[in-house]
Amino acid sequence: MTGRTAEPATEAADDDGGELLAGTRGTSRRGLRRLLLVGTAAVLVLGGCGFLHAAHRLNSAPSAENRALTDTEATARVAGEVGNALARVFSYTPDGTAAAERSARTVLDGRAARQYDVLFDRVRGDVAEQRVTLSTRAVRTGVVELDGDRARLLVFLDQTSRRGTDAATTAPAQLTVTARLRDDRWRIVDITAR
């Protein structure tokens, strides 16, 4: 097609592959045609590479890779699971922290699990002795980052505690939480108080 425009007008009619293959005319036109074909191919390949590069840049932009809110289902799921997990592991009654610690084994992992063990080794005695009840509720959960099997969230918690027969007091807590999806379940791997 590009070859056609470059040919003299009078020869445009028989300008097709058959005539080229026959090779009875001069080599100059054949060469020109071939050069144009190769040139066109080179331009197309270069253009294609440009498209590939541009598409890759768009797809791998940090904002596009973060699925927070763009994938509503996954966002709601990780927010729900992490909120519930925090509520369960930070709620206990004077009769024992066993239920909370059992939950912790299924929903905490890595550094968060180690932090939790250290914390509960310290409070376990006090809880029974001072008849402490703690109940934790996730009041707001925001997903900062969601990338496949990794998520970072900001969680606002309300923690209501009661010591013996004292009146209950509620305190706010703000946490940033890192979670990982493992065996189709979000597990909290790091907790930082804010």
Partner 1 sequence: MKRAVRVLAGARPRPLPALALVLTLVAGGFAAWTGQDWYRAAHDDRAAYAAQRDAALAAGEQAVQNLNTLDHRDLDRGLDLWESSTAGELHDQLASGRDEFAEQVKAAKTVTTARVLSGAVTELDDRAGRARVLVALRVTVRASDGAKTDKDSRMLGELTRTGGRWKLSALGQAPVGGTPAG
Binding residues (CB under 8 A) for partner 1: these are: 17, 20-21, 23, 27-28, 30-35, 37-38, 40-42, 44-45, 47-49, 51-52, 54-55, 58-59, 61, 63-64, 66, 68-70, 137-144, 153-154, 156, 158, 160, 170-172, 174, 176, 194
Whether the CB-CB separation of 153 and 78 falls below 8 Å is answered with yes
Q: CB of 18: closest distance to partner 1 in angstroms?
A: 10
Q: CB of 128: closest distance to partner 1 in angstroms?
A: 26
- Measured from the CB atom, is 1 or 129 closer to partner 1? 1
Q: CB of 169: closest distance to partner 1 in angstroms?
A: 9
Residues 98, 102, 103: CA angle, nearest 5 degrees: 120
- Measured from the CB atom, is 16 or 126 closer to partner 1? 16
Q: CB of 31: closest distance to partner 1 in angstroms?
A: 2
Three-class secondary structure of residue 99 per DSSP: helix
Which residue, chain included where needed, has tokens 């890759």? 56
- Cα-based distances in Å from 164 to 125, 137, 161, 167: 14, 21, 10, 9
Q: CB of 147: closest distance to partner 1 in angstroms?
A: 12
- Measured from the CB atom, is 106 or 174 closer to partner 1? 174
- Measured from the CB atom, is 30 or 131 closer to partner 1? 30
What is the rounded CA–CA span in Å between residue 153 and residue 178? 6
Whether the CB-CB separation of 184 and 77 falls below 8 Å is answered with no
Which residue, chain included where needed, has tokens 């010591």? 163
